[in-house]
């Protein structure tokens, strides 16, 4: 089995030489096998291993027994280790989560924090810099040199697919687990549970059994102890076949992912905790693409799709044909809302259009266009030779060219600006080229005529509206922060 795991690691490029590798070690059969195998191949990859055992604060004396077992195992294998204590029941109650979900969240949080401390050798400043748990699902945070190895196997994957199918899901949920997801690697995903237990028996390796895994109070355990055996009665290869189907679905999902990202890159607006896309764009797509776009919008908003079911996706799609202002609540404190032209997903404590801009007109009146930002507008005659101000917050424009049909608002899909020596350029491209952080792009006011941007406030102005020798009147706009 060890050779099979090594081949799987090489096939999926799970490890590179010199990696830091955190082992999630519960002391059960799967993680114990993982510890022995990773220890045996450590020299092949020059791995820096460290095991983490997490006591969830649930099983009392039995949990202490497991901690003692893992400590002795690590000492025997000369693997550095830490035992981390978390209070799952309190966390579940506080956040209104199931015990299973609370345990999963705290487990991965603890593993990620342990990886930070081990990699940065307890350098608190560097640890603080990378404290965002969403980095766990990225591969470039530590130049792809830190891996967190978990002991999921083929049975776990089959159980996950069945559980997702029962609760209602799309292609993503039916794709099952991947060999690698960000920093997380699953070297045992090539083996079934019976193979792992056989390997441990042949090698004379002991392990501990978590009594809660025998209970059918939890959904996964009911699937494991009741449904899986029935499927195996029908076909002994059921586990393997479910895994193969999941792999095919995963490949299909990845293809759709690439196609959908092309649409998102062109049309989606991503502001701080607010994501929107024009409804007309969504309505042009087949249902499977629209559903996939919505899933990615949710993933962008909260970095997770774990509790998002098909009923949520269908509900969001239905908003497209409802009146403006209709909304539905989603998991993770999210809300989806139908605005005038778009579908918007945002956190409930943030409004989809909660920013106001005030214009102080030349007659002294103030007009609200859409907090706390104001523009003062004045029109006066231009005398050739006047010194044009060079200020980021005060600009002159040719009043006759700009006309009266202008407004100040925030960016929309399709906005563009004409720049000297560059010509026409989308505002999205300009902001990306200028390396303006994505979280800030939606907060920059724009002076516009339709989709043509006259002034990216604080940045550049449109070449077409600049003062020239034939200008007769000046439109002066002052940005009051």
Q: Is 381 annotated as a binding residue?
A: no
Domain ranges of the chain: 2-234, 268-347, 357-480
Sign of the Cα pseudo-torsion (463, 465, 470, 474, in order): negative
The CATH homologous superfamily of the domain defined by 2-234: HUPs (3.40.50.620)
Rounded CA separation 212/209 (Å): 9
Tell me whether residue 31 is annotated as binding: yes
Show pLDDT as tens, one digit a residue, over the chain (481 residues).
Answer: 999 999 999 999 999 999 999 999 999 999 999 999 999 999 999 999 999 999 998 888 999 999 999 999 999 999 999 999 999 999 889 888 888 888 988 999 999 999 988 988 877 877 777 766 665 666 556 778 899 999 999 999 999 999 999 988 878 889 999 999 889 999 999 999 999 999 999 999 999 998 877 777 778 889 999 999 999 999 999 999 999 999 999 999 999 888 998 898 888 887 666 888 999 999 999 999 999 899 888 888 876 676 788 889 999 999 999 988 889 998 888 899 998 788 999 887 654 444 445 555 444 444 444 444 677 888 888 888 888 888 888 999 999 999 888 888 888 888 999 998 889 999 999 998 888 876 577 778 889 998 999 999 989 999 999 998 889 999 998 887 6
H helices of 268-372, where? 279-283, 287-302, 310-319
Task: Establish whether 27 is an annotated binding residue.
Answer: yes
Sheet containing strand 334-338, strands side by side: 269-271, 274-278, 342-347, 334-338, 327-330
Write down the architecture of domain 268-347 according to CATH.
Answer: 2-Layer Sandwich (3.30)
Q: In whole angstroms, what is the distance from residue 239 CA to residue 228 CA?
A: 8
List phi, psi (to 5°) of 462: -75, 130
196 touches 33 (CB < 8 A): yes
For tokens 């901690």, what's the residue?
67
Pair of tokens at residue 375? 């523009």
Q: Are 292 and 285 spatial neighbours (Cβ–Cβ below 8 Å)? A: no
Q: Is 174 helix (H, G, I), strand (E, B) or coil?
A: helix
Burial class of residue 170 (count of CB atoms within 10 Å of its CB; 0-12, 13-18, 19+): buried
Give residue-wise pLDDT tens across range 44-79.
999 999 999 999 988 889 999 999 999 999 999 999
26 annotated to a ligand binding site: yes
**Residue (of 34, 110, 112, 44) closest to 73 by Cα position:** 34
């Amino acid at each position: 089995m060890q050779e099979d795991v090594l081949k799987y690691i090489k096939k999926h490029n799970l490890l590179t030489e010199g990696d830091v590798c955190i082992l999630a070690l519960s002391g059960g059969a799967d993680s114990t096998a993982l510890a022995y195998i990773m220890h045996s191949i450590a020299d092949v990859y020059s791995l820096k291993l460290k095991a983490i055992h997490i006591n969830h604060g649930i099983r009392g004396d039995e949990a202490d027994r497991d901690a003692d077992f893992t400590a002795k195992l690590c000492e025997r294998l000369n693997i550095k280790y830490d035992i981390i204590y978390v209070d799952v029941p309190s966390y579940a109650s506080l956040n209104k989560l199931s015990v299973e979900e609370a345990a999963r969240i705290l487990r991965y949080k603890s593993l990620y924090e342990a990886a930070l401390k081990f990699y940065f050798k307890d350098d608190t400043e560097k640890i603080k810099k990378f404290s965002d748990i969403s980095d766990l699902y990225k591969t470039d945070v530590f130049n792809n040199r830190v891996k967190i190895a978990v002991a999921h196997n083929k049975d776990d994957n089959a159980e996950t697919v069945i559980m997702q199918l029962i609760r209602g899901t799309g292609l993503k949920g039916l794709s099952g687990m991947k060999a690698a997801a960000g920093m997380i690697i699953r070297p045992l995903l090539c083996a079934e549970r019976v193979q792992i237990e056989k390997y441990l028996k042949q090698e004379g390796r002991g392990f501990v059994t978590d009594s809660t895994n025998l209970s059918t109070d939890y959904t996964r355990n009911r699937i494991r102890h009741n449904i899986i055996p029935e499927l195996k009665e029908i076909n002994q290869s059921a586990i393997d076949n479910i895994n193969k189907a999941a792999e095919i679905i995963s490949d299909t999902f990845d293809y759709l992912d690439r196609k959908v990202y092309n649409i998102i890159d062109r049309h989606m607006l991503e502001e701080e905790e607010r994501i929107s896309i024009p409804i007309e764009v969504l309505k042009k797509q087949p249902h499977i693409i629209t559903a996939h776009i919505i899933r990615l919008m949710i993933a962008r908003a909260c970095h997770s799709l774990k509790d998002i079911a098909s009923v949520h996706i269908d509900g969001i799609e239905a908003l497209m044909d409802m009146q403006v202002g209709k909304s539905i609540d989603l998991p993770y404190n999210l809300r989806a809302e139908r605005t005038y032209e778009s579908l918007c997903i945002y956190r409930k404590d943030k409004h989809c259009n909660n920013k106001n801009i005030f214009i102080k007109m030349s007659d002294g009146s103030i007009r609200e266009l859409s907090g706390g930002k104001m523009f003062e507008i004045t029109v006066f005659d231009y005398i050739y030779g006047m010194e044009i101000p060079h200020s980021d917050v005060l600009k002159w424009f040719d009043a006759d060219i700009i006309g009266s049909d202008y407004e100040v608002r925030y960016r929309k899909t399709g906005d563009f600006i004409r720049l000297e020596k560059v010509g026409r350029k989308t505002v999205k491209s300009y902001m990306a080229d200028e390396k303006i952080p994505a979280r800030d792009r939606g907060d920059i006011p724009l002076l516009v005529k339709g989709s043509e941007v006259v002034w990216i406030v604080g940045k550049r102005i449109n070449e077409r509206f600049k003062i020239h020798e034939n200008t007769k009147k000046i439109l002066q706009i002052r940005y009051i922060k």
